[in-house]
């Protein structure tokens, strides 16, 4: 019995000692590893979602709390930042309310910016997006259909979903076509900062069949401008090895240029070289002098040779790659056909020393949209700018005549200011379909045949009293056109006016023998100038489109058949 009690006592003692040891160890661990405290946030209650605005002017606010001084940055993402403002942009610790303001979006694309708040070492961001301006734009607002009816095509641009709502009538309905439809796709081309050109192919493929077409996109390398001084005419070909000449895209050349030099420059710019990936696109000749050295710059049956200080006949004709050219500072003349047929020519800097520009000099240059004519220029010859991309032109004071078809078929030309020319020759501005504004000088005496024929966007013109003759068909084809013929005009050609919605004020004497108004006019309104006493015989004979005529109080008689067949 005693042995049993002794054993129990020993077991209990060992157990107690072990438990104490474990508790002591746990106490030491607790002292060595203190509990971590949560880190306090510097920015609290900041918006966790982005902001979206419609296309109008808007304001929204948000509130946040900062434990220290703070600032806000509006960083550009896909658009500019002027349209989005944030106030205030900075402050001290505390709770603050910030206002986001957007200006109206007049574009047809969504735009967005990133707003970032910084306080201490922390930052928070969200994106502000403004929706695009919704638009449905018809290519034309009216369509005329013959009595036979049929299917008509309506073209429009839209950036919103839309439906076509028809009036409640049984003669107009919607139909469909499975013919080819026109689509527009846009490709964003990044800047090529490398030294080599690059190409890529875009494939347009029908997802349900093998029908496909491929577009090849080519991009030129970043240009490196080369500067060369030619001390002796004819040395340029020896200074540029043949294998290097066609790699130069931008060139500044100074010194003296003869026939061999000019021939090389034209070849580098693409004359007689088609379908090359690299051309001389930029040519600065401002510090060069062209000299007649007896060497040809263009080999033809008889050869073309340079003349001192002159861009000669056909000197840069058909240069496929030339985009910009700065002509010599001492140049005095640009001869015929000098730049005809340069398809990508955009900019020509002409010095004030030039006095003449020859016929066809810039004909068929569709990319040439703007040019400043020198003050010393005295003439603009036939076809000088015809079929070019000129958008507006000012004719200098010393130009005495704008010769025939000088600006014919300039379909982008919108504005003409003529400072002093005495005559506008035959067809000078014929078929300039976007021409809307013409300013004529007070010394102008002649507007010749077909001068403004087919200028369908020209709505009116003030004809100065100095004009003595207006030629045949001078304004034929003009629409919605209003003009007054001064009493000082001596004569008008046949069918000066032939178009739609014309309002013409003219002396009655012009309606006696060779009427200037065509029988093909539609919705014609005529105002007879004061002083007329009689409407002559057959004055408006066959004026089918005459809808209105205003006569002065001085009229005493209307002769036989004066308005016969004025339906």
* Segment holding 31, helix H or strand E: helix 2-32
Is the model more confident about 204 or about 382?
A: 382
| Confidence band for 25, pLDDT divided at 50, 70 and 90 | very low
Can you tell me which residue has the tokens 């510090």?
287
Length of the chain: 567
Cα distance between residue 414 and residue 406, in whole Å: 15
Judged against a pLDDT cut of 90, whether residue 379 lies above it is answered with no
Chain segment 404-441, per-residue pLDDT in tens:
999 999 999 999 999 999 999 999 999 999 999 999 99
Give the global pTM.
Answer: 0.62
Is the model more confident about 301 or about 52?
A: 52
Cα distance between residue 174 and residue 427, in whole Å: 44
Helix-strand-coil split of the chain, %, nearest 5: 10, 30, 60
Q: What tokens does 32 get? A: 């060595």
CA distances from 130 to 50, 136, 137, 182 (A): 11, 19, 21, 29
Report the number of secondary-structure helices (H) and strands (E) in the chain: 4, 38
Chain segment 434-488, per-residue pLDDT in tens:
999 999 999 999 999 999 999 999 999 999 999 999 999 999 999 999 999 999 9
Return the bridge partners of 259, or none.
none
| Confidence band for 29, pLDDT divided at 50, 70 and 90 | very low
Smallest CA-to-CA distance from 452 within 480, 481, 419, 476 is with 476
Residue 333, φ and ψ in degrees, nearest 5: -155, 145
| Confidence band for 10, pLDDT divided at 50, 70 and 90 | very low
281 C-beta neighbours (distance < 10 Å), count: 23
Smallest CA-to-CA distance from 97 within 125, 66, 119, 121 is with 66
With beta carbons less than 8 A apart as the criterion, state whether 130 and 83 touch.
Answer: yes
Cα distance between residue 383 and residue 361, in whole Å: 8
Chain segment 153-172, per-residue pLDDT in tens:
777 777 666 667 767 767 67
Judged against a pLDDT cut of 70, whether residue 35 lies above it is answered with no
Chain segment 248-307, per-residue pLDDT in tens:
999 999 999 999 999 999 999 998 776 676 889 999 999 999 999 999 999 876 789 999
* Segment holding 29, helix H or strand E: helix 2-32
Mean pLDDT of the chain: 84
- N-terminal to C-terminal alpha carbon distance within the chain: 149
Give the contacts of 331 (CB within 8 A, at least 6 positions apart).
290, 309, 310, 311, 350, 351, 353, 354
CA distances from 539 to 127, 485, 527, 533 (A): 73, 17, 13, 13
SS3 state at 219 = strand
Give the contacts of 346 (CB within 8 A, at least 6 positions apart).
323, 324, 367, 368, 369
> What secondary structure letter does DSSP report for 262?
H
Strands 58-66 and 94-102: antiparallel
């Amino acid at each position: 019995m005693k042995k049993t009690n002794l054993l129990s006592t020993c077991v209990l003692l060992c157990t107690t000692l072990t438990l104490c040891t474990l508790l002591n160890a746990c106490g030491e661990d607790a002292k060595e590893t203190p509990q971590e405290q949560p880190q306090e946030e510097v920015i609290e209650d900041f918006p966790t979602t982005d902001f979206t605005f419609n296309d109008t002017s808007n304001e929204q606010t948000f509130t946040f709390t900062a434990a220290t001084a703070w600032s806000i940055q509006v960083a550009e993402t896909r658009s500019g930042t002027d349209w989005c403002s944030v106030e205030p942009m900075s402050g001290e610790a505390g709770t603050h309310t910030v206002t986001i303001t957007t200006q109206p979006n007049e574009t047809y694309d969504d735009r967005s910016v990133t707003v970032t708040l910084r306080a201490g070492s922390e930052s928070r961001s969200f994106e502000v997006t403004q929706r695009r301006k919704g638009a449905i734009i018809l290519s034309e607002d009216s369509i005329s259909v013959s009595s036979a009816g049929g299917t008509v095509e309506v073209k429009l641009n839209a950036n919103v979903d839309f439906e076509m709502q028809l009036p409640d009538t049984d003669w107009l309905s919607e139909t469909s076509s499975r013919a080819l439809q026109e689509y527009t796709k846009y490709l964003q081309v990044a800047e090529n900062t490398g030294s080599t050109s690059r190409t890529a192919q875009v494939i347009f493929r029908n997802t349900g069949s093998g029908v496909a077409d491929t577009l090849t996109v080519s991009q030129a390398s970043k240009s490196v401008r080369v500067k060369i001084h030619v001390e002796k005419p004819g040395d340029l070909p020896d200074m540029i090895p043949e294998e290097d000449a066609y790699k130069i895209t931008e060139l500044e050349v100074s010194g003296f240029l003869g026939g061999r030099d000019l021939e090389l420059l034209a070849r580098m710019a693409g004359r007689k070289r088609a379908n090359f990936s690299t051309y001389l696109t930029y040519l600065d000749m401002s510090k060069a002098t062209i000299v007649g050295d007896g060497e040809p710059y263009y080999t033809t049956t008889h050869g073309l040779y340079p003349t001192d200080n002159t861009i000669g006949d056909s000197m840069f004709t058909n240069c496929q790659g030339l985009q910009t050219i700065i002509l010599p500072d001492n140049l005095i003349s640009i001869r015929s056909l000098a730049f005809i047929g340069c398809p990508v020519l955009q900019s020509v800097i002409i010095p004030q020393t030039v006095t003449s520009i020859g016929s066809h000099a810039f004909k068929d240059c569709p990319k040439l949209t703007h040019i400043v004519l020198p003050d010393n220029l005295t003439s603009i010859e036939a076809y000088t700018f015809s079929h070019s991309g000129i958008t507006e032109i000012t004719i200098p004071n010393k130009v005495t005549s704008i010769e025939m078809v000088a600006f014919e078929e300039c379909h982008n030309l919108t504005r003409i200011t003529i400072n002093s020319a005495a005559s506008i020759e035959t067809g000078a501005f014929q078929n300039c379909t976007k021409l809307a504004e013409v300013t004529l000088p007070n010394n102008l005496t002649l507007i010749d045949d077909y001068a403004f024929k087919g200028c369908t966007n020209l709505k009116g013109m003030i004809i100065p009293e100095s004009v003595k003759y207006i030629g045949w068909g001078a304004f034929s084809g003009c629409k919605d056109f209003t003009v007054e013929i001064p009493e000082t005009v001596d004569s008008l050609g046949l069918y000066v006016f032939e178009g739609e919605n014309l309002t013409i004020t003219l002396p009655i004497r012009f309606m006696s023998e060779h009427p200037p108004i065509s029988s093909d006019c539609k919705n014609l309104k005529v105002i007879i100038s004061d002083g007329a006493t009689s409407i002559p015989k057959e004055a408006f004979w066959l004026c089918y489109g005459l809808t209105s005529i205003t006569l002065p109080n001085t009229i005493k008689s209307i002769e036989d058949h004066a308005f016969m067949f004025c339906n």
